[in-house]
Structure 1
Amino acid sequence: MKTFETYHPIVLFSFFAATIGLSMFFMHPVYLAITIFFAISLNLALHRQLFFKDWKIYVPLFFIMAIINPLISHNGQLVLLYINGNPLTLEAITYGIAISTMIVSIMLWFSCYNTLMTSDKFIYLFGKVSPVISLTLSISLRLVPRFRRQLKQIVLAQKVIGMDYTAGSLWHRIKCIIRILSILITWALENAIDTADSMKARGYGVTKRTAFSIFIFERRDGYVLAIIILLFSCNIVASFIGTTTFYFYPTFGIVKWDTTSILFYMSYCILLAIPLAIEIRGALKWRSLKSTM
């Protein structure tokens, strides 16, 4: 049982909106370190086995993005060496690592979002405001994981009949890949038609939309939501006064460690630690209850 997912949808959505929104714009080394640490920690807490499978994708992606920047950008003052007359600078390498960290962190946060913020919760929040947009976004967010699962099934089925795209000649591999893509596209189109027919048969759009799940906003939801808003506001203030700003070019900026900066670092750390703290508290409470049985 995931404890954080039992909270009201407005709390879940507010947390991920604040977290992902801040993670997209903070390139400060301290903020990046906090972001990647809690993104990994929450993923481990929610789905450990799946995380280790997906990590095979995240690690190569991280290094590929980190390597691309110093190859195309030659700005910076600290030159390490020259490749074909082009300088390879420490600033470009560090900036590439920072960009990679930010992108991987956002992908990890979205993985947690897809686990906790299910489609019925999203539609519950925005279905009455804009039913069409909320349904479109809900379906769109589900496309990537569904396509991945279906693609995996298609690849395994094709291997059984000898259409393995990882073996054989180049022409054989191309034929296998084209065949797999054709099956996947056909499945996607058929699935879209089935979804449309199902929605029509169930009377979508005929009457005012109702929610499948009923969520009650409790006192604990109010406390957590207030903390999220307060900490999010603190980090917005930190951004305006320049605490979250860090320059990589033409040379590195200065990481401030004064009292004000440390307090803002802590506020960001506490914000990102909210779901992990709730999960740990829930696990300890469940263990305590089991010991008393």
Structure 2
Amino acid sequence: MAELAVITVGGKGSSLSSSSVYAIANGLAQLRIDSSALNRLPSSSSSPLNTHILGSLLPSLPTVEEYRASLVVLLSKLLSLSGSPNIRTVLPVKIAEALNSPELKVESLDLTDEEALALEKLKLSSALYAICALLDHQSAALSTVSDAVAAISCEALKADVAAFNLIDSGDGHAAKEEIGVASDLKVLLNGSKLVGKVEIEAISRIPKIHASLREQVKSVHSKTRVELNSGGKVVCAGVVRTALLPLAAALWDLGDRSLSRAKMNVDGVGSENLRSSLVALFEQKCPSGESLRGGFKLVSQLVFEEEENMIILLMK
């Protein structure tokens, strides 16, 4: 079995990326604290210590992946507070040990009041930006996969792919992301003898729908990268709103059109027995249009909440 990669956090001039958060959160990499970051923290404190159940001061999210991701972000932000005389090395070390442990065991710990306050202050921000980091990484992967699946749908439906013949006029007014999607699909379908002449709206709209997702993925990535490395700043819900709501809308459109193409693919199966089996499997495993709509409504409601309420609802 290959050894896990090691991702170092806290080094001078280093930055935390969404892909690193994702890798550590899913056990694909181990976490190591840069020695220079630990050297900037004291090993002891003159402040009185009080026993705390560490888990109660850490972010609480519904899945193991989200919880681990929030601990990665929290640890990174704690290390950015270096120079504070009452935050000792033992706190980030304990969190790192928990992340590198298969059981993710977080025990009680004697903390200074400043350490407990820092955890309380950073808890909500860490939870929210951890979710943003996971969305950033996963939506980027989804954008690539969705192009490939869409190309397969074009062949299965014998669709007319003339809508992919987009050209950049060079005058600065072209929709560059749409042209990029169309170009990538043309590469994927190059030489295909399965595409045909059937005009299908769900096919002709692929460049626009997928381009919108690409645009929002880039926006989320840019904003998440800044917030992951913003030090100990408290959460700013406005930044999250402007990033996540457009992404949710783009994902809804992508899901709706993908669902439409999938249904057409299933309906086009010649064998009645196979088609019946696929329909049953489709209804059992695939999200419905109503569930996609419900997901978008939930995100829409969340973004109108105040910072603390937004994160509390996400934690449920």
- TM-score in terms of structure 2 length: 0.27
- TM-score in terms of structure 1 length: 0.29
Structure scoring higher RCO (CA < 8 A, sep ≥ 6) equals: 1
